[in-house]
Structure 1
């Protein structure tokens, strides 16, 4: 089942960011449009049998397809081993089906689509009903607290750094995680995601020299004005072309500089930021930490030292 659902998640990852239907048309080669026959769409096996190439155009098929199928299968197996055949297993499997595509979409496109996060929040609360009204209450509190915590961090970051400090979809993702895991392990999720992201960022800093985007290029120095011409003399003609066009008196060129508000509508800056080659979104770290808390929470509570084990007190 994990392999089959993993094959479907490949469709979700490819089509949701593009605004396409995840139902129609049938699976096809993204390059030549060849629609796959049923025997070309068997998880992992078809990729191996086709030698990772499209049977129509012969271009390579990304290794990401079998990777996501195998990853989903392993997570399904881990959930069954962790929860057995209980109502909690259903909630755990649905959480996997949400976190896997959200992570890969965020890695590639730097977005966390609300088409997945908002229905996921509702699903997290609804799937807590078979576990009792106490669990429903904790699930609702978890969704609200998860959203408000990151909303507050986003607001504070904008006030301090004068720019977006967290992705807008991160608060939706943490609300989704809170709806499934309740509010109790949210602190552990934030701790693990921040810690692991910081470790990887430090390693990238050592290897590549930076853990963020490349610095902006320095602005070009303004051209020095031409020397004044003594009275009674005329400027020689320049061979390369005509001189500057004279401007009426009292007018000056308007230069929009970064942060001065000129060239912007209603005082809002245009969001033209693009991630650098070494940037990593925060969404996948939240997803990884949520899966770790869900699947390894009791074990982490036992092996961690005394101050840290309290973070995982809510991981059941």
Structure 2
């Protein structure tokens, strides 16, 4: 039994890294309007096709020492980082949910959040091609997650989209300029579809805390001219808050309630 659990754990991690490799394609190509299916993987510097044995998640980066085999151009550390992060996500969900529909559902949800986060970091956009279908797809949470109900899904979408829309509208009304993009609104609606109203409120609170800390750190590291132009994407922090809810949200909420008593 122990050996089987170890085997499934290893396979979960490997499966996650393989999906992470695909997410790298999505992150790189989707903002540029390129197909995520063709052409096959190639070096972005010299366009040389990458053979499958040089395209193994994490391992190939280490073997090639972070450089293209053909032109020696450096390979971004982001590639193995995304693969590792997705592998850890799959492993963590197996430990929490086992081999269940809920684990598969939340892995798909987390994988989309990883792609959204890195695209938002690079381009300050959240593609509608991910968030809008995501709202529909993750509305099936009531099918895969035992504690979710269809009414929770509906209220989660309305709360997720409505709360940030109200914040964005109020900011624009007071400051006469846009402070939050529509992508964040659609992202929180997608998160609401997957986690319900409670997940939306938890995500918004923790995402704001993480965003504030991240913003302070970014401002501290930036130069004086960069501080004026700094734009901190909110998507990664919302994604982090959503996954924290999936893994530890209920226990954190219970701890907070007990703390207030």
- Give the TM-score, by structure 2 length: 0.88
Q: Does 1:26 align with 2:40?
A: yes
Cα distance in 1 for partners of 2:225, 2:150 equals 40
Q: Does 1:55 align with 2:7?
A: no
Q: Does 1:94 align with 2:108?
A: yes
- Indicate how the Cα distance of structure 1 residues 164 and 289 shifts in structure 2: closer, same or farther if over 3 A, else same: same
Q: Does 1:71 align with 2:85?
A: yes
Deviation string, structure 1 residues 22-51 (Cα, Å, up to 9, x no partner)? 111100101110111010111011111111
Q: How many residue pairs were aligned?
A: 247
Contact 1:204–1:210 under 8 Å retained in 2: no
Cα distance in 1 for partners of 2:248, 2:53 equals 37
Q: CA deviation at 1:181?
A: 0.7
Partner of 2:97: 83
- Indicate how the Cα distance of structure 1 residues 40 and 204 shifts in structure 2: closer, same or farther if over 3 A, else same: closer
Deviation string, structure 1 residues 215-250 (Cα, Å, up to 9, x no partner)? xxxxxxxxxxxxxxxxxxxxxxxxxxxxxxxxxxxx
Instruction: Give the secondary structure class of the aligned counterpart of 1:54.
Output: coil
Decide which structure has greater helix share: 2
Cα distance in 2 for partners of 1:46, 1:100 equals 21
The counterpart of 2:29, out of the listed 3, 15, 21, is: 15
Q: CA deviation at 1:210?
A: 6.5
Cα distance in 2 for partners of 1:211, 1:80 equals 46
> Which blocks of at least 5 consecutive residues in structure 2 are unaligned?
1-14
- Give the TM-score, by structure 1 length: 0.73
> What is the 5 A alignment of 1:195-214?
195-208=209-222, 213-214=227-228
> Which blocks of at least 5 consecutive residues in structure 1 are unaligned?
215-275, 310-316
Larger Rg: 1
Contact 2:141–2:153 under 8 Å retained in 1: no
Runs of 4 or more consecutive aligned structure 1 residues displaced over 6 Å after TM superposition: 209-212
